[in-house]
Amino acid sequence: MKSNLSSPFKPKSVKDYKPQDLTIYTLRAGFKKKGKDLLIIVFDKAVPVANAYSQTSMPSAPIIWDKKNNNSFCKVLIVNSGNANAHTGIRGINQIEKYTKVASKIFQCKKSEILVSSTGVIGEELDSAKIIKKLNCISKNSLKSVKDAAKAIMTTDTFSKVEVVKFRYKSKQIIIYGFAKGSGMIAPNMGTMLAYIFIEAPLKKKDLKNMLMKHIDSTFNSISVDGDTSTSDTIMLFSTGLKNPKIIMNNNLLNKISARVNDIMLSLSKQIVSDGEGISKLIEVTVSNAKNKTQASNVAFSIAESTLVKTAIAGEDANWGRVVMAIGKADKHIDQDKIIIKFGNSVVAKKGARYQKIDLRKLNHYMKNKIVKINVNLGIGKYTKRVWSSDLTHRYININADYRS
């Protein structure tokens, strides 16, 4: 895999945090040609966790294994990058059985308290011996922070994706943090993305699940780079509040935590799409006044995932005709005479025709921005959907043509 240039949205600095209730190890197991490619997180004791996985009909071995074996508590999380362990059949499952058996002995936990994830090339067998070797030689020299954890799970990513939120509640500080990876094969119902979020407060499993399901549609399920749904995408939400036993949970605090979890999920999902393979511009599509949620979502993603729209944005061309095309193919029950299309604040189409008062100079200047907003008012209902996508450049082709080389 050849190295790729950094995203223009790469932050000048990445947030970082050293957690209280867990230990982070990052190691080089040899799945990638260079750099750390193995992350092991060990919790002080088994903690509650909620999970959401890829909606693909061809899930990876780690997803199959997690769903079958985990009991909604986690003592150890093991993530490797460089090999997806996907479409590897029973042999892929057996490799997980081998290294989780060793991990359960080393960390003195049940196998049902271990969660695993893998990301990388699909179809290549994973060698469990590489993970077992590193499990057997973990040392304090391997101790790392959240930023290091994010870096260890990167594949074609050009920057680490981390978010940390701190707030006070009745004199107690509560910290919520998370990290993620993802750059290509990103589509609704999550794409090749891995995301792990940790709440330093004592929440129950049902509260974690409710939060995850409440916010996932407007965050991780609202981004797309290439419309390809991965075999491996995973998000996990942990409660690690062992050092905060005096925090008494109530509905008010739960709502505050839920709002911050949403902030983190939105930040991480937008960081992922901002690092879309070969990206030069971030596209934000908002569809308003749709008949129902399904229509709003279908139209928004039809625009965001249109190859013609994405290449037009890459070329700084306000080709609103391509947006019209994307709307039309998404839903038959749309009245084109009611639609208003905007690029930024500039109306480009209205009442079924080109808007006659377009300020082309203003519009052309707007298209040079790194973030391009497309707003579509369908004029037939009250529902809204906002999604984020990336443009499509020559570099996207180069990255994926060279992926296995």
In the chain, what are the domains?
22-274 (3.60.70.12), 282-401 (3.10.20.340)
pLDDT at 67 over 70: yes
Reply yes or no on whether 192 is catalytic. Answer: yes
Taking residues 221-229, report their average pLDDT.
72
Classified as helix, coil or strand, 373 is strand
* Max CA separation in the chain (angstroms): 72
Closest CA to 159 of 28, 272, 35, 18: 272
pTM for the whole structure: 0.92
pLDDT at 240 over 50: yes
Comparing 249 with 363, which gets the higher pLDDT? Answer: 363
Provide the pLDDT for residue 190. 35
pLDDT, mean over the chain:
91
Q: ∠ CA 63-69-72 to the nearest 5 degrees?
A: 90
What pLDDT digit, counting tens, does each position of 9-46 carry? 999 999 999 998 999 999 999 999 999 999 999 999 99
**Ramachandran assignment for 259, one of left (phi > 0), alpha (psi -120 to 50 degrees), beta (any other):** alpha
What pLDDT digit, counting tens, does each position of 96-110 carry? 999 999 999 999 999
pLDDT at 58 over 70: yes
What are the residues facing 341 on neighbouring strands?
349, 376
What is the crossing angle of helices 293-304 and 320-330, to 10°? 140
Query: Cα separations (Å) of 47 from 68, 115, 165, 194?
Result: 18, 12, 20, 19
Using pLDDT thresholds of 50, 70 and 90, give the confidence band for residue 81: very high
Taking residues 128-143, report their average pLDDT.
89
Separation of alpha carbons 70 and 68, rounded Å? 6
Out of 56, 155, 156, 192, which one is annotated catalytic?
192
Taking residues 375-380, report their average pLDDT.
98
Query: Cα separations (Å) of 291 from 24, 43, 171, 294, 296?
Result: 47, 46, 46, 8, 7
pLDDT at 115 over 70: yes
Please give the structure tokens belonging to residue 370: 């790194």
Query: Cα separations (Å) of 312 from 319, 321, 344, 352, 355?
Result: 6, 10, 15, 21, 19
> What percent of the chain lies above the pLDDT cut of 70?
93
Provide the pLDDT for residue 318. 96
Comparing 155 with 116, which gets the higher pLDDT? Answer: 116
Please give the structure tokens belonging to residue 179: 């990290």
Q: ∠ CA 48-78-1 to the nearest 5 degrees?
A: 135
pLDDT at 143 over 90: no
Provide the pLDDT for residue 365. 97
Using pLDDT thresholds of 50, 70 and 90, give the confidence band for residue 192: low
Using pLDDT thresholds of 50, 70 and 90, give the confidence band for residue 57: confident
pLDDT at 225 over 80: no
Provide the pLDDT for residue 187. 45
Taking residues 363-386, report their average pLDDT.
98
Query: Cα separations (Å) of 265 from 11, 31, 258, 308, 325?
Result: 17, 28, 10, 29, 31
Please say whether the beta carbons of 24 and 145 come within 8 A. yes
Torsion of CA 40, 45, 46, 51, to 10 degrees: -50
